[in-house]
């Protein structure tokens, strides 16, 4: 009897990682009735983090209403695991896919702070926050404002809790910070090591994909520098160069500096919690994947991290589209790449046929 382990990321815009697992498992077990297929949905701290951990460990989703990046009421959820740990995806409240149009200057992480409050209200003393997929570049001041911190201008007035308010901050009032946070352990799931500001910082590297123009980027970077300066005065320490401080538009900085959050690799955390390595020790094949595999995938994204961690010689990446040379993939531990959309047709042209394309791609997997 053969055993395979199926450990994909989500195919953003089409399937969750759980749905990808189910489709691959169903198609292969129909062709190979004696096959044992272990499903391990994976995420890297972004979309699918809550689902991956609940699938692996049990628990439930808790639904609530929070503010979107631009201040609308939106439905979001977080997870509570059996041990009481709360798992939050900041993308649920402050993600780049929530608004029809992104605005890097006006987008806020306030809704992420509301999710943290909801978890505290549920009694959580351990909170895991995945901070991938943000629409924001506010240095975390939105989330921190929801938790009670006040960011004030020279006149003692609260600044806008978004990117365009960063350069106005003159002082920080910590007196109303939710006291429950003092006894709460917060883990950040993050695979970004960028600093808060500068040429490799949150504004220059990530804000353009969130709708920022060149002038917006300069304004945001100057604002993040100002936030770092004022925060150092308030806290007595500079956290702006800490690994991960530039993640999620600086939300990493806000949570590390003000809440004592500890960054961890998102994908490594989930692979560890799901016993992925142990499951692959006697596997004949590991199947991973994501919607698009490209140069960013080589920087520790799910397929190559899965390939690195797996105790299995044969690794197949089943992806939507692939922009990596087979030789490069092989060096990264991936034996074979199978594309569901080998013609690289535009997403809007194939979205309605995505399930059929993925099913057809499964037929190319030979055990």
Q: What CATH number has the domain bearing residue 15? A: 3.40.50.10350
State both tokens at 151: 């960011």
Residue 299 — very low, low, confident or very high, per pLDDT cuts 50/70/90? confident
Which pLDDT score is estimated for 289? Answer: 96
Do 257 and 283 sit in the same domain of this protein?
A: no
Which pLDDT score is estimated for 171? Answer: 98
Within 13 A of 176's CA, how many CA atoms are on the CB side?
A: 10
Q: Which helix (H) or strand (E) holds 110?
A: helix 110-121
In a domain, 153, yes or no: yes
With CA atoms as reference, report the closest residue to 314 among 287, 293, 294.
287
In a domain, 367, yes or no: no
For the cut 90, the answer to whether the pLDDT of residue 183 exceeds it is yes
In a domain, 172, yes or no: yes
Do 287 and 185 sit in the same domain of this protein?
A: no
In a domain, 166, yes or no: yes
**Into how many domains does the chain fold?**
2
Q: How far apart are CA 159 and CA 137, in angstroms?
A: 15
What is the average pLDDT across 153-171? Answer: 98
Which pLDDT score is estimated for 202? Answer: 97
Do 227 and 251 sit in the same domain of this protein?
A: yes
Any idea what the CATH number is for the domain that residue 131 is in?
3.90.1510.10
Residue 128 — very low, low, confident or very high, per pLDDT cuts 50/70/90? very high
Do 182 and 285 sit in the same domain of this protein?
A: no
In a domain, 35, yes or no: yes
Residue 347 — very low, low, confident or very high, per pLDDT cuts 50/70/90? confident
Whole-number percent of the chain with pLDDT over 90: 89
Do 18 and 137 sit in the same domain of this protein?
A: no
Average pLDDT, the chain: 95
Query: Which of 266, 289, 319 represents a domain boundary (last residue)?
Result: 266
State both tokens at 99: 């608004």
Residue 1 — very low, low, confident or very high, per pLDDT cuts 50/70/90? confident
Which pLDDT score is estimated for 349? Answer: 86
In a domain, 113, yes or no: yes
Whole-number percent of the chain with pLDDT over 70: 100
Residue 12 — very low, low, confident or very high, per pLDDT cuts 50/70/90? confident
For the cut 90, the answer to whether the pLDDT of residue 295 exceeds it is no
Which pLDDT score is estimated for 18? Answer: 93
Do 56 and 38 sit in the same domain of this protein?
A: no
Do 109 and 168 sit in the same domain of this protein?
A: yes
pTM, two decimals, is 0.90
Do 227 and 94 sit in the same domain of this protein?
A: yes
Query: Which of 214, 240, 266 represents a domain boundary (last residue)?
Result: 266
Q: What is the 3-state secondary structure (H, E, C) of 111-169?
A: HHHHHHHHHHHCCCCEEEEECCCECCCCCCHHHHHHCCCEEECCCCCECCCCHHHHHHC
C-alpha 315: how far from chain center: 24
Q: Which range, of 110-114, 300-304, 357-361, averages the lowest pLDDT? A: 300-304
Mention every residue, 6+ apart, whose C-beta is less than 8 A from residue 5.
Answer: 38, 40, 276, 279, 280, 283, 285, 286, 287, 310, 312
In a domain, 271, yes or no: no
With CA atoms as reference, report the closest residue to 68 among 95, 32, 35.
95
What is the average pLDDT across 4-27? Answer: 94
Do 33 and 75 sit in the same domain of this protein?
A: no
Do 354 and 235 sit in the same domain of this protein?
A: no
C-alpha 261: how far from chain center: 16
Residue 247 — very low, low, confident or very high, per pLDDT cuts 50/70/90? very high
Which pLDDT score is estimated for 79? Answer: 98
Mention every residue, 6+ apart, whose C-beta is less than 8 A from residue 322.
Answer: 292, 293, 294, 337, 339
What is the average pLDDT across 198-205? Answer: 96
Residue 351 — very low, low, confident or very high, per pLDDT cuts 50/70/90? confident
For the cut 80, the answer to whether the pLDDT of residue 300 exceeds it is no
Query: Which of 208, 237, 266 represents a domain boundary (last residue)?
Result: 266
Do 186 and 58 sit in the same domain of this protein?
A: yes
Which pLDDT score is estimated for 336? Answer: 96
pLDDT tens digit string along 81-126? 999 999 999 999 999 999 999 999 999 999 999 999 999 999 999 9
Which pLDDT score is estimated for 255? Answer: 98
φ/ψ of residue 204, rounded to 5: -70, -35
Domain boundaries, position 310: 3-42+277-362
In a domain, 272, yes or no: no
Do 144 and 79 sit in the same domain of this protein?
A: yes
């Amino acid at each position: 009897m053969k055993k395979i382990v199926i450990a994909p990321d989500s195919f953003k815009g089409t399937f969750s990682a759980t749905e990808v697992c189910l489709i691959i498992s169903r198609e292969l077990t129909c062709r190979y009735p004696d096959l044992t297929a272990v499903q391990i949905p994976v995420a890297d701290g972004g979309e699918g983090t809550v689902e991956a951990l609940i699938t692996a460990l049990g628990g439930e989703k808790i639904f609530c209403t929070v503010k979107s990046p631009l201040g609308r009421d939106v439905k979001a959820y977080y997870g509570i695991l059996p041990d009481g740990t709360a798992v939050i995806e900041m993308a649920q409240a402050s993600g780049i896919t929530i608004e029809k149009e992104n605005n890097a200057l006006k987008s806020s992480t306030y809704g992420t702070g509301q999710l943290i409050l909801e978890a505290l209200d549920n009694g959580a003393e351990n909170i895991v926050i995945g901070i991938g997929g943000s629409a924001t570049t506010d240095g975390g001041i939105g989330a921190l404002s929801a938790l009670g911190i006040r960011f004030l201008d020279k006149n003692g007035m609260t600044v806008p809790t978004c990117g365009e308010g960063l350069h106005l901050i003159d002082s920080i009032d910590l007196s109303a910070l939710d006291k429950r946070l003092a006894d709460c352990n917060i883990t950040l799931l993050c695979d970004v090591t960028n600093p808060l500001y500068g040429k490799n910082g949150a504004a220059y590297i990530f804000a353009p994909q969130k709708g920022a123009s060149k002038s917006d980027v300069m304004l945001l970077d100057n604002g993040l520098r100002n936030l770092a300066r004022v925060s150092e005065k308030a806290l007595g320490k500079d956290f702006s160069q800490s690994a991960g401080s530039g993640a999620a538009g600086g939300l990493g900085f806000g949570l590390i500096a003000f809440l004592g959050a500890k960054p961890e690799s998102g994908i490594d955390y989930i692979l560890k919690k799901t016993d992925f390595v142990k499951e692959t020790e006697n596997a004949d094949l590991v199947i991973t994947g994501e919607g698009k595999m490209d140069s960013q995938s080589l920087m520790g994204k799910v397929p190559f991290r899965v390939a690195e961690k797996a105790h299995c010689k044969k690794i197949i990446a089943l992806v939507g589209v692939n922009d990596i040379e087979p030789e490069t993939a092989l060096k990264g531990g991936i034996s074979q790449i199978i594309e569901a959309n080998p013609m690289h047709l535009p997403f809007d042209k194939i979205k309605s046929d995505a399930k059929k394309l993925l099913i057809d791609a499964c037929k190319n997997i030979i055990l």
